[in-house]
């Protein structure tokens, strides 16, 4: 039976990670170790297989993540841990055997990431097949409403909702917010040449890039949707990544970015920075405001 067929509503009381792993893999469990409040590593009965059970607090978060992982995996590019199944509160995936980062793996990752983006999406904001419109980026809600025009879609669904949240929380002042609003108004001229929707990971920071023992990168914890490929790359730049220069060079060799892309990095970083401002406070708000003001400065 497929994992989709086994997916169903959560029981009235949460099952243990071991019980969830047994239900979705069809295997007996021999042991387990909590990795964090939300993650448990579970051993299966063949003595070799280990899976990760992730527990989600928000209804629909596990479904959104499972759909995103499957959509990214369907591109056949960057490697993605296999999904064994999910329900309303839990997700079971393969564990990634970790290894050291290397230049060779970074080059391969850059090429594979370009191919992932090129796999495309039906529209900007398109959710993965089977994924909910109301999804998440980390712990923040993220709405996958679609649009045909990237500048207006990005402003409406990826910048302004989080700006409003930051203003409502007092993290960004109303006068400060005007700078971000001006960037949104000028996005048609700041966005660069139009591109088709790319298949984005959507939360591409270093913690979601796992360097495998086999020399291949795996991506986890996506906020997958159709978007502009420069957004994934801007997030990777924002939070750093081992051998980042190799990753970006290999990407450019495979799928060159439109001219002027370096000047658009801050525009694409507004989305993750404002998400972080909502979740984590003023420090990220200040970074978002600095990025907005830099984007508004005339080129010399």
Positions annotated as catalytic residues are 203
Whole-number Cα distances in Å, 156 to 144, 149, 247: 11, 11, 30
Helices (H) and strands (E) counted in the chain, each on its own, are 12, 11
Asked whether the CA dihedral 44, 49, 50, 55 is positive or negative, the reply is negative
Give the number of other Cβ atoms within 10 Å of residue 299's Cβ: 5
Cα 228–chain centre separation:
13
DSSP string over 80-127: -PPEEEE-SSEEEEEPPPB----HHHHHHHHHHHHHHHHT--SSBTPP
**Adjacency order of strands within the sheet including 50-55:** 29-34, 39-44, 50-55, 90-94, 83-86
> How far is the C-alpha of 61 from the C-alpha of 207, rounded, in Å?
18
Distance in angstroms between the alpha carbons of the first and the last residue of the chain = 62
> How far is the C-alpha of 223 from the C-alpha of 126, rounded, in Å?
11
């Amino acid at each position: 039976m497929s994992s989709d067929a086994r997916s169903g509503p959560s029981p009235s009381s949460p099952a243990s990670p071991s019980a969830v792993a047994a239900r979705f893999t069809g295997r007996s469990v021999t042991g387990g170790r909590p990795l964090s409040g939300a993650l448990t590593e579970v051993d299966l009965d063949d003595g070799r297989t280990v899976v990760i059970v992730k527990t989600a607090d928000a209804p629909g978060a596990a479904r959104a993540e499972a759909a995103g992982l499957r959509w990214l995996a369907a591109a056949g590019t960057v490697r993605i841990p296999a999904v064994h199944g999910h329900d309303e509160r839990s997700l079971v995936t393969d564990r990634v055997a970790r290894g050291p980062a290397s230049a060779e793996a970074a080059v391969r990752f850059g090429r594979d990431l370009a191919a992932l983006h090129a796999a495309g999406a039906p529209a900007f904001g398109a959710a993965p097949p089977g994924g909910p419109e109301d999804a998440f980026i980390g712990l923040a809600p993220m709405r996958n409403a679609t649009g045909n025009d990237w500048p207006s879609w990005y402003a409406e669904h990826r910048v302004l909702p989080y700006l409003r949240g930051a203003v409502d929380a007092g993290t960004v002042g109303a006068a400060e917010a005007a700078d971000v609003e001006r960037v949104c108004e000028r996005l048609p001229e700041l966005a660069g040449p139009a591109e088709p929707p790319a298949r984005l990971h959507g939360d591409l920071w270093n913690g979601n890039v796992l360097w495998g023992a086999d020399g291949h990168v795996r991506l986890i914890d996506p906020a997958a949707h159709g978007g502009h490929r420069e957004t994934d790359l801007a997030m990777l730049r924002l939070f750093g990544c081992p051998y980042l220069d190799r990753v970006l060079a290999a990407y450019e060799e495979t799928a060159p970015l439109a001219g002027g892309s370096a000047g658009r990095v801050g525009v694409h970083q507004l989305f993750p920075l404002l998400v972080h401002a909502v979740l984590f406070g003023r420090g990220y708000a200040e970074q978002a405001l600095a990025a907005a003001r830099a984007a508004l400065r005339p080129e010399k």
